Chain A
């Protein structure tokens, strides 16, 4: 029973990170109908910036703020420079451009920061809380992970629901022509959308790195998990991304915890889940029926 609780808690914590990463993909998909396969590399880049600052003696929080800020800039630059020319074009071209970015940024990280494994610290402990006589798999760090993802989601809800900028962004995503006629600077809103998504992605990258080793390709699985989570939720729905992330986190945690040598099967399990969902419900669990055609 205690083992089950621990596996579940681990799954929920990791699921929150997948949810955040999926949310970043969904933000971009909603505004530009592009899946940003470079998301993982971009997040890795900002994580390495944070790592460099921490190794330089700065505090975790300074590093966190700088990493998120550089994520914002990176997202905006990427949208302006390389995504703008392929936006609205054939799907294949956009996919290939984000894949090119994926490879280039990952190699760039290796050139600038080296490709060795480096440990990434956490602001909080990795020792599980004591409940009665047992230690459970909920650590101060996982509380930090869960709280920061929830906080980010709350901030996004406030932004999109209650501010003028949020309204303009929703309008740009919903109908570019109409929004433009009503005086919305659509281009600017799309750039902002990519920048915000990159911030959320960077946060996910930093959170998954905490207490682990990082290397330029450490986000490779996460881009798959994030994509699977987003597709589980329908790719179009922020709520779906969160639910999808949690479901995936739990599922993968159970595979890794209950199947013998299951940790080798985590990526395969993600593949299997994706295949089943796409075959049974290609639109995802939360998507409106038209979402995939738009």
Chain B
């Protein structure tokens, strides 16, 4: 009766409360008698975190060099997609290997809208990318809601392998193998004056894209964090952990699964839009199976079910490859061989994490922390 098992059971233990970025500690319900400086309302707390993170992002982008700026732009679209996947896989227990394909939907939408004679304002274009990806996601979600485990994995795998073929088939519209070039719009003047007011640095296009990515990332994580802390998030976890009980409580399992898939597809669509702007290209070669599997790697390593984990995992995706590739070159591998070292490490890490620490980095750390706190205040049950 594997239907009854929670697919993410070991990870789920420590994940009952999923944190927004950087709120892992603050999220635990405060035991009576313990004082905290953070506001009690979830929304206010997340707004506070958002403000701090926004300041942090500006500082980070201003003190780093242009190359790191572009790496951070890359990080932003990985993290947006991984955040969406966290909602789906971590919160709702549905695995998806097709999120790369949903990113492709967002990227192609963005590229098409930007290629118009008089392109719409950028926020509207990104919104369109989200809407189209959401529609595709809802469609896939309806099919996916009836599947579980390996069946779902296989179906979404087919999505990842199959969908880029459409870009080749409709090559007049979508540019075939070459794909569509993306004309990234210039930064608005307000941005230039903002940058020179803040740091006195000159605003480059790279920096503008990095800021754009950071803004999208912050908005996405703010919305997702609030969502997973709301009734909706709790219902998703109930569907994941206690399928039968949830159904008995009057929850329509299928509907909630479709909703999770849709929300997650929306994030993937936005990620695809940002990707198209940063890479300046939407082509089938950008949305390989490896992309979808990398996103899965990010959320598994970070810790299934935690947005902070998704962010950490995405950072690993961005900053690990150059490091590993250099290491490979030092060992005497040639360039193409060294480039393959990163996926090799991802694969091995994925296996090792699943065997030895299925809760991922954040989950494992949090579990340690909870255990320590529980032993310290042994007088009564704490931490929920």
Are B161 and A220 interface neighbours, CB within 8 A?
A: yes
Closest to B93 in A: A92
Roughly how many angstroms separate A185 CA and B384 CA in the complex, as a whole number? 44
Is B340 in contact with chain A by the CB < 8 A criterion? yes
Return chain A residues, CB-CB under 8 Å to B2: 33, 91, 293-294
Tell me whether A228 and B158 are in contact in the complex, defined as CB-CB below 8 angstroms, given that A95-B153, A265-B165 are known contacts: yes
Are B161 and A221 interface neighbours, CB within 8 A?
A: yes
Roughly how many angstroms separate A82 CA and B289 CA in the complex, as a whole number? 22
Is A275 in contact with chain B by the CB < 8 A criterion? yes
Choose one: B146, B169, B300; the contact of A261 (CB below 8 Å). Answer: B169
Closest to A29 in B: B150
12 A-B pairs (CB sep. < 8 Å): A37-B157, A82-B355, A92-B149, A96-B354, A100-B346, A104-B343, A111-B340, A111-B341, A271-B161, A275-B155, A282-B147, A293-B1
Are A110 and B340 interface neighbours, CB within 8 A?
A: yes
Choose one: B7, B97, B143, B163; the contact of A99 (CB below 8 Å). Answer: B97
Return chain B residues, CB-CB under 8 Å to A227: 154, 157-158
In the complex, which of the residues B95, B161, B300 has the most CB atoms of chain A within 10 Å of its own CB atom? B161
Return chain A residues, CB-CB under 8 Å to B297: 100, 103
How near does chain A come to B13, taking the closest CB pair, in angstroms? 12
For the complex, count residues of B whose C-beta is within 8 A of A.
56
Beyond A221-B161, A268-B166, A282-B147: 4 further Cβ-contacts under 8 Å? Answer: A33-B2, A103-B297, A224-B161, A271-B158
Contact with A along B163-187 (1 / 0, CB 8 A): 1011011000000000000000000
Is A34 in contact with chain B by the CB < 8 A criterion? yes
Return chain A residues, CB-CB under 8 Å to B5: 90-91
How near does chain A come to B198, taking the closest CB pair, in angstroms? 41
Q: Which residues of A from 76 to 125 have beta carbons under 8 Å from B? A: 82, 85-86, 89-97, 99-108, 110-111, 114-115
Return chain A residues, CB-CB under 8 Å to B351: 82, 97, 100-101, 104
Tell me whether A95 and B347 are in contact in the complex, defined as CB-CB below 8 angstroms, given that A110-B336, A114-B336, A270-B162 are known contacts: no
Roughly how many angstroms separate A103 CA and B294 CA in the complex, as a whole number? 9
Is B119 in contact with chain A by the CB < 8 A criterion? no
Return chain A residues, CB-CB under 8 Å to B340: 107-108, 110-111, 115, 216
Are B97 and A34 interface neighbours, CB within 8 A?
A: no
Is B350 in contact with chain A by the CB < 8 A criterion? yes
How near does chain B come to A85, taking the closest CB pair, in angstroms? 5
Choose one: B148, B168, B354; the contact of A93 (CB below 8 Å). Answer: B354
Identify the B interface with A (CB < 8 A): 1-3, 5-10, 89, 93, 95, 97, 143, 146-151, 153-155, 157-159, 161-163, 165-166, 168-169, 289-290, 293, 296-297, 300, 333, 336-337, 340-344, 346-351, 354-355, 358
How near does chain A come to B359, taking the closest CB pair, in angstroms? 11
Return chain A residues, CB-CB under 8 Å to B355: 82, 85-86, 97
In the complex, which of the residues B148, B153, B290, B300 has the most CB atoms of chain A within 10 Å of its own CB atom? B153
Roughly how many angstroms separate A46 CA and B383 CA in the complex, as a whole number? 51
How near does chain B come to A70, taking the closest CB pair, in angstroms? 19
Are A90 and B347 interface neighbours, CB within 8 A?
A: no
Roughly how many angstroms separate A217 CA and B290 CA in the complex, as a whole number? 10
How near does chain B come to A224, taking the closest CB pair, in angstroms? 5
Are B166 and A104 interface neighbours, CB within 8 A?
A: no
Roughly how many angstroms separate A37 CA and B149 CA in the complex, as a whole number? 12
Are B347 and A104 interface neighbours, CB within 8 A?
A: yes
Return chain B residues, CB-CB under 8 Å to A100: 297, 346-351, 354
How near does chain B come to A227, taking the closest CB pair, in angstroms? 4
Are B162 and A231 interface neighbours, CB within 8 A?
A: no
Tell me whether A106 and B343 are in contact in the complex, defined as CB-CB below 8 angstroms, given that A35-B150, A96-B300, A274-B154 are known contacts: yes
Tell me whether A278 and B347 are in contact in the complex, defined as CB-CB below 8 angstroms, given that A90-B10, A261-B169, A268-B162 are known contacts: no
Please classify how large the interface on chain A is, using the bins under 10, 10 to 19, 20 to 34, 35 or more. 35 or more
Closest to B154 in A: A227
Return chain B residues, CB-CB under 8 Å to A7: none
Return chain B residues, CB-CB under 8 Å to A96: 95, 296, 300, 350, 354
Closest to A33 in B: B2
Tell me whether A279 and B1 are in contact in the complex, defined as CB-CB below 8 angstroms, given that A82-B355, A115-B340 are known contacts: no
Identify the A interface with B (CB < 8 A): 29, 33-35, 37, 82, 85-86, 89-97, 99-108, 110-111, 114-115, 216-217, 220-221, 223-224, 227-228, 231, 261, 264-272, 274-275, 278-279, 282, 292-294
Roughly how many angstroms separate A82 CA and B355 CA in the complex, as a whole number? 8
Choose one: A37, A105, A278; the contact of B151 (CB below 8 Å). Answer: A278
Choose one: A93, A231, A272, A279; the contact of B10 (CB below 8 Å). Answer: A93
How near does chain B come to A197, taking the closest CB pair, in angstroms? 15
Roughly how many angstroms separate A206 CA and B89 CA in the complex, as a whole number? 35
Return chain A residues, CB-CB under 8 Å to B290: 103
A-B pairs, 6 with minimum CB distance? A104-B347, A100-B350, A91-B149, A103-B347, A271-B162, A107-B344
Tell me whether A92 and B8 are in contact in the complex, defined as CB-CB below 8 angstroms, given that A37-B157, A224-B162, A265-B169 are known contacts: yes
Closest to B2 in A: A91
In the complex, which of the residues B3, B5, B157 has the most CB atoms of chain A within 10 Å of its own CB atom? B157
Are B169 and A268 interface neighbours, CB within 8 A?
A: yes
Return chain B residues, CB-CB under 8 Å to A93: 10, 354, 358
How near does chain A come to B2, taking the closest CB pair, in angstroms? 6
Return chain A residues, CB-CB under 8 Å to B159: 271
Roughly how many angstroms separate A91 CA and B149 CA in the complex, as a whole number? 6
Return chain A residues, CB-CB under 8 Å to B89: 92
Return chain B residues, CB-CB under 8 Å to A102: 293, 347
Return chain B residues, CB-CB under 8 Å to A268: 162-163, 165-166, 169
How near does chain A come to B166, taking the closest CB pair, in angstroms? 6
How near does chain A come to B232, taking the closest CB pair, in angstroms? 21
Return chain A residues, CB-CB under 8 Å to B163: 268, 271
Return chain A residues, CB-CB under 8 Å to B347: 100-107
Roughly how many angstroms separate A267 CA and B380 CA in the complex, as a whole number? 58
Are A264 and B146 interface neighbours, CB within 8 A?
A: no
Roughly how many angstroms separate A96 CA and B97 CA in the complex, as a whole number? 10
Are A91 and B169 interface neighbours, CB within 8 A?
A: no
